[in-house]
């Protein structure tokens, strides 16, 4: 098939649709400030090193770019599992609503 296109078979018909991609990870200024504080504190406590806000932000950007997809994919996997469990629950609830046929 074509790059960036997913083929899906529905009722014997092959349908193609563009593949969705993960957007670049972006955080608000407040979120970034909190993360910078956490990174600086961690490096100081665990490695006994003082780093500046620029260095901490650089590390955050690196981890987001290089490791973000792993966390993102795990989140998608967890969300899919919750969705499947809830869909199964709804299926059981619908079966309970069925009326006896006479």
Could you report the per-residue pLDDT of 30-73, keeping only the tens digit for each? 999 999 999 999 999 999 999 999 999 999 999 988 999 999 99
Which residue ranges make up each domain of the chain?
26-97
Q: How many residues does the chain have?
A: 102
Would the pTM of this model clear 0.85, i.e. be above it? no
CA distance 75 to 69: 10
Residue 9: its pLDDT value, please?
Answer: 58
Q: How far is CA 39 from CA 24, 90, 95, in A?
A: 21, 43, 51
Query: What single DSSP character describes residue 11?
Result: T
CA distance 85 to 96: 17
């Amino acid at each position: 098939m074509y790059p960036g296109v997913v083929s899906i078979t529905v009722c014997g018909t092959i349908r193609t649709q563009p593949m969705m991609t993960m957007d670049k990870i972006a955080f608000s200024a407040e979120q970034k400030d909190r993360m910078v504080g956490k990174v600086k504190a961690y490096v100081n406590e665990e490695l006994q090193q003082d780093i500046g806000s620029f260095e901490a932000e650089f590390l955050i950007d690196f981890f987001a770019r290089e490791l973000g997809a792993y966390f993102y994919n795990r989140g998608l996997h967890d969300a899919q599992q919750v969705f499947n469990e809830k869909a199964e629950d709804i299926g059981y609830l619908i079966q309970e609503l069925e009326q006896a046929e006479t």
